[in-house]
Structure 1
Amino acid sequence: MKNYSLSKRNGILIIIAFWLVYFLIDFISNGLLNLSNKKSFFATFSLFVYTMYIVQLLTILFNYFVLVPKFLKHITWKNIFITVSLSFTFFILVRYLIEQILTNIFFNSVNYYDSTPFLYYVIDNFHFASFIVFSSLFLWIVIHLIQTIEANRIIEKEKKDAEINFLKAQINPHFLFNTLNNIYSLVNFKPDLALKSIENLGSIMRFTTYETNKTKIEIRKEIEYIEQYLALEKIRFGEKFFIEKLVKIDNENQLIYPFLISPLIENALKHGVVKDQDFPIIIEINQNNNQIDIRVKNKINSYQKDTLTGIGLDNLKKRLTYYFKNDYQFIINNDDDFFEVNLKFPLYE
C-alpha cells in the first residue's frame, strides 16, 4: 500500500544505507590500522578490497529483491535453509566471476591462484560471506515485519471505518422506518400534524445526510437532532407525552462523535411508556470540559415484546468500544419495570 511509512522504496534505501555504513566502517578501520603500523592510510587497499565491496552489495540486493521474497514469504526451517544456501552460493559464484574472470580480463590479476584447493576456496568464501548473508537476511526480515505490521494497521483501520459506516447506515434506516410509521398513522386522522411531522423529518434527514458523514460534530447539533426527534414523537402522542428533560451543556461547540446520545432516547421512546404522567421518561444530559454524562430512564412498556436493548443500543456499544476502548461506562439497569441506561464517555479535543 502507498500509505506505508516504511515503503518498499524506503526499505531499499535502508538496505543501501546499511551497506554504506558497513563499507565506511570497514574502510576506515583498515585505514586506521595502516596508520597505526606507520603506513599510508591506503597502503593495504588493493583491487580485491574494492571488488569484495561490490560482491557484498550485489549479494545484499540479490537477497532483498530475489531470494528472500521468493523463499521467505512463509518462514520455515526448510525455506530458511534453502535461502541461506542459495545466498552463500550466489556470493561464491559472483566473487569467482568478478575476482577470477573479470579482473583477469581487465587487470590481468586474480585473487586466488589456480592451485588453490576447491574446498579451501569454498570455506574461505563462507568466512567472508557469513556476516553479509546473515545480516542482510535479518535486515530484510525486520523491514518486512515492520511493513507487515503497518499493512495490518492500515487494513484494520479501513475495516473499522467500514464497520462504523455500516453501523451508521443501520441506525439511519432504523430511525427512518420508525418515523415513517408514525407519519403514516397521522395521515388520515391528523393531516396537519402529519405535515408538521414531515417538516421535522426533513430537518432530521438533513442532519443525518450532512452531519453523520463527519468524523465529529458539535454537541449542539446532536442535541438539536434529539429535539427534532422528540418533536416528532410529541406530535404523535399529543398531550399524553410525558418527558422530563434536563440538558446542561458547558460548551455547545464541543466536538463529539455523532449518534452517541440519540440512540438512548430513541430506545427509551420505542420500548418505554410515554403516556404515564407519574412515570415520565427521564432524560439527563450533562457535559463539561472532560466528559459527558447521560442518564435515560423509562418505564417498560409491558405490551412491547422486544423490551431489550434493540439494534440501536447494540450498535452504540460497538461504536463506543471502537472510539474509546475501555475508557467509557455503559451501565444498564433493568428490573422488568424500569429500564435505565447510564453512559459516560470522555471528551477529547
Structure 2
Amino acid sequence: MFTKQISYKELIVHIIVWLCISIFPLLTAYIDLGEIPSEMYLKQLMRPILFYVNYSIFVPYILLRRKLMIYIFVSILFLLLYNYVSRELMDTPIMNGIRNMNNRPERPGGGPFGMRHAIPMVFSFSIFLLGGIFGLVVDFYKRDRESKELENEQTEIKLQFLRNQLNPHFLFNSLNSIYSLVRSKSDSAPEAVITLSELMRYMLYEAKDEQVSLEKEMNYIQHYIALQRLRLKNTEAVKLNIKGETKNLKIYPLLLISFIENAFKYGTDFKGNTHIDIQIEVVDKKFSFYIENIIGLYKRDDKNSGVGLENIKSQFNYLYKNNYELTIDEDKSYYRVHLTLNLNDNEVHNNR
C-alpha cells in the first residue's frame, strides 16, 4: 500500500514537471513569433528521452554504483549524440518543407559552436541534468524509507528480546515464591499455583499485544502482589493503593512488574520485617506510579540482579521517549521509584 502511494505521488510530480517544461517554451515561442514553430513539437517529444535515459539508466546503473568517471564520459557522449541527431532531424527535407509551407525561412547555417547550436545544447543539458537530480532524489527517499523500516524492525526485535528476557526473570522469581510455600507445607500453595496460572495466561495471551487495557494491567499487578503476600508472614506492611479511573486507557504491558519484583525481593530486613508501599494514581490521563521498599536482608547486586531494571529502562526509552519521567532514589534505609507516564496518546475510543 505504501509503495503504491509513493508511485502515485511520483507520477503526479512527473506530470507537473513535464507540463511546465512543455508549456513554457511553447508559450514563449507563441508570444515572440505569434505562432508555434512545427519543429518545436518534435523537440518536445524528444526531450523526455534526455530526462529518462539519465533518470532510469545512467543514474541507477552507473552513478549510484560509484562509477563517476564512466558516468561523466557516457553522459557527454549521449548529449553530443542527442544534439547531433536532433539537429539532423530538424534539417530533413520534410521539416524544411513544413517551414516553407508556413512561409518561414530554412534554418540558417552556422558553425558547431554558434548560438544556433549552443542554446539547444544548454537546454538539453538542463533537461538531462534534471533527470539526474530526480533520480538522486528518488533514490535518497527510497534509501531513507528503507533505513527507517530497517531501524523499526531492529527496534522491534530488540524490544521483543527485552520482553523475552524479562518474562523468564519474572517466572523464576514467582516459582521461588511458590517453592517456599510448598517447602513450608503451606495451605496457600494451591492458591498460589492458581494465581500464577492467571498471571501466565495474561502474559502469554494478552500482554503480547502492543498495548493493553490499563485496567487489565492493574489486575495483573494485584494478582502478582496477592501471590507474593502468600509467602509473607506480615502482609500488613505490603500496601497497594490505586486511585483514579483506569478504564478506557491503554498502557504498554509488563513495564511496572520489574520494580515490584525488586521491591519484594529486597524489601524484607534481617528481622523479617517487610515494608512495601505502592501508590498508583491516574489524573487527567496522567499515570503516576510510586513504590517504596526498605533495603532489607539481601544486598542488591546491580551486576546480576539488575537485568530487569535495565531492560525496563530501555523499553521506556523506546516506547514513551519524551512522554515519561523516571526517578530512582536510594538511601541507607529505603529504595524509591517514581514514574509518570503521559497516556494521552493511548486513549481507547468507546466505539471500538
The TM-score range, normalised by the shorter chain, is 0.7 to 0.9
Q: TM-score w.r.t. structure 2 length?
A: 0.82
Partner AA of 2:162 in structure 1: L
Cα offset, 1:223, TM superposition: 0.9
Counterpart position of 1:311: 307
Cα offset, 1:154, TM superposition: 2.0
| Consecutive unaligned residues in structure 1, runs of 5 or more | none
Cα offset, 1:191, TM superposition: 6.3
Task: Count the aligned residue pairs.
Answer: 337
Cα offset, 1:72, TM superposition: 3.1
| Per-residue Cα deviation, 1:59-88 (whole angstroms, up to 9, x for no partner) | 11111111111233267xx72x65355334
Listed as ranges, the matches of 1:11-90 within 5 Å are 11=10, 14-34=13-33, 39=34, 43-47=35-39, 49-73=40-64, 79=68, 82-90=70-78
Among candidates 203, 206, 216, match of residue 198 of structure 2: 203
CA–CA distance in 2 between the matches of 1:13 and 1:64? 16
CA–CA distance in 2 between the matches of 1:203 and 1:23? 70
Provide closer, same or farther for how the CA distance between residues 101 and 135 of structure 1 changes in structure 2, counting only shifts above 3 A: closer
CA–CA distance in 2 between the matches of 1:114 and 1:179? 95
Cα offset, 1:211, TM superposition: 1.8
Cα offset, 1:105, TM superposition: 8.9
- Does the 8 Å contact 1:241/1:274 carry over to 2? no
| Per-residue Cα deviation, 1:245-287 (whole angstroms, up to 9, x for no partner) | 2111223331111122222211211222278787611111111
- Any idea what SS the aligned residue of 2:231 has? helix
CA–CA distance in 2 between the matches of 1:324 and 1:5? 31
- Does the 8 Å contact 1:242/1:277 carry over to 2? no
| Consecutive unaligned residues in structure 2, runs of 5 or more | 100-105, 348-352
Provide closer, same or farther for how the CA distance between residues 86 and 54 of structure 1 changes in structure 2, counting only shifts above 3 A: farther
Among candidates 178, 186, 200, match of residue 181 of structure 2: 186
Provide closer, same or farther for how the CA distance between residues 94 and 171 of structure 1 changes in structure 2, counting only shifts above 3 A: same
Cα offset, 1:178, TM superposition: 1.4
Partner AA of 2:312 in structure 1: L
CA–CA distance in 1 between the matches of 2:254 and 2:8? 42
Give % identity.
26
| Per-residue Cα deviation, 1:68-123 (whole angstroms, up to 9, x for no partner) | 11233267xx72x6535533432332343455269849768799989864555874
Q: TM-score w.r.t. structure 1 length?
A: 0.83
Partner AA of 2:78 in structure 1: F
Among candidates 142, 146, 149, match of residue 154 of structure 1: 149
- Runs of 4+ in structure 1 deviating by more than 6 angstroms, as ranges, are 105-115, 274-278
Cα offset, 1:305, TM superposition: 4.5
Between stretches 280-289 and 303-312, larger displacement belongs to 303-312
Provide closer, same or farther for how the CA distance between residues 176 and 273 of structure 1 changes in structure 2, counting only shifts above 3 A: same
Counterpart position of 1:91: 79
CA–CA distance in 2 between the matches of 1:278 and 1:187? 21
Among candidates 328, 332, 335, match of residue 336 of structure 1: 332
